[in-house]
Amino acid sequence: MTGPDITTAIDRAIAQAMSADERILVIGEDVPALRRTLLTRFGPDRVIEAPISESAFLGAGVGAALGGLRPIVEIMFIDFLSVALHQLVNEAAMIGPLSNGRWPVPMMIRAACGGGYGDAGQHEQALWGMLAGVPGLTVVAPSTPLDAAGLTLSLLAHDGPSILLEHKLLSEMWMTELAGTHREGVEFDVPETPPEIWPASLQPVPIGEAIVRRERGEVAIFSLAVGVHRAMQAACELEQRGTECTVIDLRTVSPLDVATVCDVAGRCEAVMVVDEDYGPFGLSGEIAAVLAEAGIHRPFARVAATGVIPYAVDLEREVLPSVPRIVAAVERLVGVD
Amino acid sequence: MSDGPDLEALFSLMVRMRAFEESLASLWRRGLVSGEMHLGVGEEGVVAGVLDHLTDRDGLALDYRPTPALLAHGVSPGSIVLEVLGHHDGLNSGHGGHMHLFSPELLATSTGIVGSTAPLACGLALAARRLRPGSIAVGFFGDGAVNQGMVMEAWNLACVWQLPVVFVCKDNQWAATTRTDRLTAGSIAGRARSFGLNTRVADGTDVEAVWRAAKPLVDDARIGEPGILIARCRRPSGHMLDDTLSRTVRNPADLLRMTRESMTDQPGLSAVRHMAGLTGTIAKAIGDRWLPHRDPLRTAARRLGDRAEALERAARAGLQRDVDGALARAGVAS
C-alpha cells in the first residue's frame, strides 16, 4: 500500500503516540483546523489552539514539559520561531543541562520549513543549521513520509527538546494551503518521491541515524529533506554522463551521524553537501569539519542556499539548490569540464 | 487554614530568607561565588505572604532572585549554598548557580531572563490542570518585566486558556538600574485588568497585607481563574551586588569624576544638563539603600512587639546551622 504525504504521516504518528500516552498534547496556532483529525479524536483539551504569541505558547510548552506533560508545540513555519527564540535557546535547551540532567524538557516542536513555492525569505527558510548549533537540541528533517512518521515516534519518546522539520514541498496539505497548487497553470519544482510500503503499525526510526539511499562510489553526496530527492535526480543524470554518486540522507541534523558520514566519505573519492539551509557557518561546514577532524581528506564542495530566498520563480531557483546546480558542482569537483 | 495569617511563622520565615541572602552576599564578597549576585532582600514580605498559601504540589516559576521562594517552598539552604559555591553536591551539581536553581521534586524552576517566568508559569499551570487538578502555578517577576512582550502574551494566554495561575509582580519600581515609571506607559494594574486578570494591589512591605491579598487570588486560581498580585516593595541591595548604581551611591566621588571627565569633551553646561536626568535615579537609589522605612521585617517585628527578638534569634540560628553545615562540607570557613 502506498502511504500518505509527509504531513498526514506525521499526524498519524502523533495519533498513535497520543493514544498510547495521555501526557502528549498539541499546542499551536490554527491547530483545530490544521490538525482536525487529531482534534476530532482527542478533543480540545489535548489539541489546544493558541493565539499568535509564539513566545508565550512555546514558553508555556517548556513549563508544561517541566510540569510532567510531553507537549508538541507547533510553530507554523520555522521562520516564525525567531520571535520565540529565547524560549528555545535559553529555556527548552538549557534547563536540562543547567540542572545537571535532573529536569529534562520532553517537548517536540513541529514546524514546516523550506522553499520553492514563491513565499520568499520570511516563510521559506530551512534554518536547521542554526538550530542544530544549540547544544542539547535534537533536530530532524526527514525526506520521506515513513521516516517522518518514525522519527516523530522517536522524538515523542525522547526525554529532551527536539524539532521536527516538515518540508513543505513534500506536503500536499501545505502546498495546497500556501502555493495554491489546485490552481491551473501553477507549477513548482516538486520532486518525484519514490512510493513507500506503508505498514499497519508505525515503527520508530532512530534519532541520529543517516541512511544511504544510493551507493555507487566516487562522489558522496550528503543531504536531507528535499535536497535528498534533488541529489537522487542529479545522481541519475550524472550516471548517464559518466560520474557515479552515493547519496546519503542524513535525516537527523543534530546529533549528526558522524560514524556514517565518516564511513561513507572514507569510501568515496570526493564529498559534496547539498543543503537547503544557508551555506556559511552551517551544516555543510560542520560536515567538512567532522571529516577533517577524523583525518578524512577529500575534495569537498557544497550546494546550499546562496542567501536570502527571493520571490520570483527564476530568482528563487537560482538561490535554492537545484538539480542543474548539483550536477554542475559535482562535475567541477571531479574535474569533468 | 485559619482566617488570618500566622504572623509569628511568617516573620520567622522572612528572617530565614533575610539571613540567607546575607550569607550569600557575604560569600560573594569573599570571592567564593563567581558571577553576578541578585538578592531578594526587600522582597521577603511578598514571597512569604504568597507562598504561605501554596502546597508542594503547586509549581513555581522564579526569576533570578529565586532563593527566598525556594527556602519557603522547602528547598534546603545547604544545597543552595553548595550550588553557588560550585560544589558537586549542590542543588544542580554546580551547573546552575544562583540564577538557575531547579528543584523538579518541588516543581520549582528559575531563570535569568527578565519576564521568562510568565510563559513558564502558564505551562506549569497547564500541567497542573491536567495532572494535578486543584493545584496551581505561581510566576514571580519584577515591575521591569511588564514591558517584555512575552509577559503580556502570557497574561493573555492565562486568561483565554483559563489557567490555574497567579502572577506576582514584585514592584520595586526598578528595571535593573532604570526607574520603571520613566519607561512604562499606563499602569501595571491597568494593563493587567485590561486582560481580564483578577488584579490585586498590596503593600509588599506588609506581609499580612500580602497574605490577605494573595489568598483570594490563589483560591480563584485553583478553580481556573487566573490572577495577578502587584506588591510594592523595596530593593536595598540594588539590581545586583555592586552594580553601577550601587557603586555610585556608595561612592559619589566616582560620579563627580565621570562628570569632570565628560566635561572635557562637552561644554560644561550641557554636560551638567545631561547628568541632571540621572539625579532622580540616584536619589531613589540612595533612598532605597539607606532609608530604613518599608522593611517587611521591621513592619512585622513592630507588630509582634516583645516576641520578635526571640523569634528572630531562633530563626537566624537555625538558618546559620544549615549554612555552616554546607560550608563545612565544602571546606569553607564560616
pLDDT in tens, B156-168: 999 999 999 999 9
Alpha-carbon distance of B99 to B96, in angstroms, equals: 7
Chain B residue with CA closest to A66: the answer is B124
Out of B111, B128, B153, whose CB is closest to A56? B153
Higher pLDDT, A276 or A187: A276
Higher pLDDT, B17 or B278: B17
Alpha-carbon distance of A168 to A113, in angstroms, equals: 6
CA angle B175–B176–B182, rounded 5-degree value = 35
- Kindly state the average pLDDT of the residues A241-266: 97
A91 neighbourhood in chain B, CB within 8 Å: 111, 113, 116, 120
According to the model, what pLDDT value does residue B238 have? Answer: 86
Percent of chain A predicted with pLDDT > 90: 89
Tell me, what amino acid is at B287?
G
Cβ separation A56–B102 shorter than 8 A: no
Cα-based distances in Å from B225 to B115, B132, B150, B192: 21, 16, 20, 14
Sorted by sequence, the CB contacts under 8 Å of residue A251 that are 6+ apart come out as A140, A141, A142, A143, A147, A151, A205, A209, A210, A211, A224, A257
Q: Are B160 and B199 in contact (CB under 8 A)?
A: no
According to the model, what pLDDT value does residue B252 have? Answer: 74
Alpha-carbon distance of A74 to A52, in angstroms, equals: 11
- Kindly state the average pLDDT of the residues A286-314: 97
- Burial of residue B324 (number of CB atoms within 10 Å: 0-12, 13-18, 19+): middle
Cβ separation B123–A23 shorter than 8 A: no
**CA B43 from chain center: how many Å?**
5
- Burial of residue A222 (number of CB atoms within 10 Å: 0-12, 13-18, 19+): buried
Alpha-carbon distance of A159 to A140, in angstroms, equals: 15
Distance from CA of B9 to the nearest CA of A (A): 29
Tell me, what amino acid is at B16?
R
pLDDT tens digits for range A113-170: 999 999 999 999 999 999 999 999 999 999 999 999 999 999 999 999 999 999 999 9
In this prediction, residue A1 has a pLDDT band, given cuts at 50, 70 and 90, of very low
According to the model, what pLDDT value does residue B33 have? Answer: 94
Higher pLDDT, B91 or B272: B91
- Kindly state the average pLDDT of the residues A179-201: 86
According to the model, what pLDDT value does residue B2 have? Answer: 57
- Residue A66 contacts B where some CB pair is shorter than 8 Å: yes
Mutate to test the interface with A, among B75, B114, B122 (most CBs of A within 10 A): B122
- Kindly state the average pLDDT of the residues B295-322: 96
Mean pLDDT of chain B: 92
- Kindly state the average pLDDT of the residues B78-88: 97
Cβ separation A97–B95 shorter than 8 A: yes
Cβ separation B111–A91 shorter than 8 A: yes
In this prediction, residue B264 has a pLDDT band, given cuts at 50, 70 and 90, of low
According to the model, what pLDDT value does residue B278 have? Answer: 77
Cβ separation A66–B59 shorter than 8 A: yes
Residue B26 has pLDDT above 60, yes or no: yes
In this prediction, residue B266 has a pLDDT band, given cuts at 50, 70 and 90, of low
Residue B93 has pLDDT above 70, yes or no: yes
Residue B62 has pLDDT above 60, yes or no: yes
In this prediction, residue B273 has a pLDDT band, given cuts at 50, 70 and 90, of confident
Q: Are A87 and A62 in contact (CB under 8 A)?
A: yes
According to the model, what pLDDT value does residue A84 have? Answer: 97
- Kindly state the average pLDDT of the residues A172-179: 89
Q: Are A303 and A273 in contact (CB under 8 A)?
A: yes
According to the model, what pLDDT value does residue A46 have? Answer: 98
- Kindly state the average pLDDT of the residues B62-84: 97
According to the model, what pLDDT value does residue B282 have? Answer: 82
A87 neighbourhood in chain B, CB within 8 Å: 116, 119, 150
Alpha-carbon distance of A290 to B212, in angstroms, equals: 61
Cell of A321: 539548490
Alpha-carbon distance of B126 to A288, in angstroms, equals: 44
Residue A88 has pLDDT above 80, yes or no: yes
- Kindly state the average pLDDT of the residues B243-265: 75
B127 neighbourhood in chain A, CB within 8 Å: 63-69
Cβ separation B109–A86 shorter than 8 A: no
Residue A50 has pLDDT above 80, yes or no: yes
- Burial of residue B284 (number of CB atoms within 10 Å: 0-12, 13-18, 19+): middle
- Kindly state the average pLDDT of the residues B259-267: 67
Percent of chain B predicted with pLDDT > 90: 78
- Burial of residue B317 (number of CB atoms within 10 Å: 0-12, 13-18, 19+): exposed
Out of A45, A53, A86, whose CB is closest to B116? A86
In this prediction, residue B267 has a pLDDT band, given cuts at 50, 70 and 90, of low
According to the model, what pLDDT value does residue A2 have? Answer: 63
- Kindly state the average pLDDT of the residues A101-106: 98
Cβ separation B104–A50 shorter than 8 A: no
- Residue A109 contacts B where some CB pair is shorter than 8 Å: no
Residue B41 has pLDDT above 80, yes or no: yes
- Kindly state the average pLDDT of the residues B264-278: 70
Residue B243 has pLDDT above 50, yes or no: yes
- Residue A159 contacts B where some CB pair is shorter than 8 Å: no
- Kindly state the average pLDDT of the residues A247-253: 98
Tell me, what amino acid is at B169?
C
Chain B residue with CA closest to A105: the answer is B104
Sorted by sequence, the CB contacts under 8 Å of residue B163 that are 6+ apart come out as B122, B125, B126, B129, B137, B157, B224, B226
Chain B residue with CA closest to A60: the answer is B123
pLDDT tens digits for range A196-216: 888 888 999 999 999 999 998
Cβ separation B149–A55 shorter than 8 A: yes
Sorted by sequence, the CB contacts under 8 Å of residue A222 that are 6+ apart come out as A210, A248, A250, A261, A264, A271, A272, A273, A274, A287
Residue B256 has pLDDT above 90, yes or no: no
Cβ separation A25–B130 shorter than 8 A: yes
- Kindly state the average pLDDT of the residues A3-14: 94
Q: Are A206 and A154 in contact (CB under 8 A)?
A: yes
